[in-house]
Amino acid sequence: MKEDPVSRSLSRRTLLKKVMYGLGGTLALGHVIPRVQAEERDVSKGETDRLVVHVVRPLDAETPVQEFTAYLTANSRFFVRSHFGPPPVELLSDPNWRLSVGGMVDRSLTVTLTELKQFEEVSVTAVVQCSGNGRAFHRPKAPGVQWERGAVGNAQWTGVRLRDVLAKAGIQAGVHHVQFQGADRPVVASVPLFTRSIPLEKALHPDTILAYEMNGRPLPLLHGAPLRVITPGWMADSCTKWLTEITVQAEEAKGYYMQTAYRVPMTPVEQGRAASGQSTPVEAMVVKSLVAAPKGGETVKAGPVSIQGVAWGGEVKVAMVEVSLDEGKTWETARLVGEDHPYAWRQWQLVWKAKTAGTFTILCRATDDRGQTQPKTSPWNPNGFLWNGWDRVTITVAA
């Protein structure tokens, strides 16, 4: 994955083009292509372009799903989840920002961003998804930001391997967890900090990185500048933004955001009931897919309609995407198209011959390599995590 500077700058240009043109040349059919091309994006312009805002302060905003006709999600259109919002910019810039590595290590480290960049640079294209994406579809409703479909995105993340940084510090015997602390702080000091940890095994995985670039650009402020954790295949509660402290330790992180929030019950919970048994942190993604085009409420002409979208399985490859136009009675297999990388999403397409005028509901569901298929609705849990029910878009076919 290591790229030399020349091929890197070339690939960066290719990358920007990909962000700009979306599926462009990949899909041969459909009215969607001119529209996608017409929406050329300047990825450097504005940090939150056309997002659907759920909470103004601190900002929680999701991406309109039609953006997912592009393989990579533009930085300015990438969903934003904030616990407290970005720290003051001056704390994150060169003279002030440092990353410290401490705890059960042989040598504590404190490094500047320039020093951190001395480690081998790697890139990984990965889906980042909020654990609460789709919470709005749980019934009864679960408390929290009512995310619908777009608290997810696919981006190329560039940085250094966490394992390389940990190796330099030297991990002592008895370590089982690696804790992350960002520089974001609550307005009121008595509110618990967003302190999280991941098991050592995930921390040492060669694809777990500390990222300072997103889609070939320096990490934007809202996405964790100058450095965030990327745990490919895992939900974004492990992807700490504005990272400043890494602590290597025996136990899981303490505090609300690890011990109470971002957990799911280990045994099924009856709808609307509170969990009573043991719970486990939200970690790996579950297989999921979305219809990106046509968009909900759109009117299309009778004739061939290009239905397209994305599907991802986190640490597991997507094996199949199916589409139904009869409320799940029959399913037709879609064609997987475009790039195929671990942790990234897979684009898919199905040409549907719309013969009669009327209202139609397009459903899609994906199956991963382990044979896990998206359920019609996901198991209820008190905090509404890990929704992966069939995606559903209703369109009109004009006479």
190 binds another protein (CB under 8 A): yes
143 binds another protein (CB under 8 A): yes
272 binds another protein (CB under 8 A): yes
| Helices and strands of the chain, counted as H and E runs | 7, 23
Burial of 373 (0-12, 13-18, 19+ CB in 10 A): middle
275 binds another protein (CB under 8 A): yes
Cβ–Cβ < 8 Å for 118, 210: no
Q: Which is nearer to another protein, 281 or 309 (CB)?
A: 281
Cβ–Cβ < 8 Å for 1, 209: no
28 binds another protein (CB under 8 A): no
186 binds another protein (CB under 8 A): yes
Q: Which is nearer to another protein, 148 or 164 (CB)?
A: 148
Tokens standing for 300?
Answer: 């299309």
Specify the stretch interacting with another protein by CB under 8 A; choose among 89-97, 111-119, 167-175, 189-197.
Answer: 189-197
**Percent of the chain that is helix, strand, coil (3-state, to 5):** 15, 35, 50
Q: Binding marks (x or -) toward another protein, 97..136, rule CB under 8 A?
A: ----------------------------------------
Q: Which residues pair with 228 in a beta bridge?
A: 211
Residues 72, 62: Cα–Cα separation, whole Å: 15
279 binds another protein (CB under 8 A): yes
280 binds another protein (CB under 8 A): no
Q: Which is nearer to another protein, 281 or 314 (CB)?
A: 281
CB of 269 to another protein, least distance (A): 9
Number of chain residues interacting with another protein (CB under 8 A):
28
Q: Which is nearer to another protein, 57 or 254 (CB)?
A: 57
Cβ–Cβ < 8 Å for 347, 309: yes
Residues 23, 14: Cα–Cα separation, whole Å: 13
Of all helices (H) and strands (E), which one includes residue 257?
helix 256-259
46 binds another protein (CB under 8 A): no
φ/ψ of 67, rounded to 5, equals -65, -20
Return residues touching another protein (CB under 8 A): 53-58, 60, 140-141, 143, 145-146, 186-192, 260, 265, 272-276, 279, 382
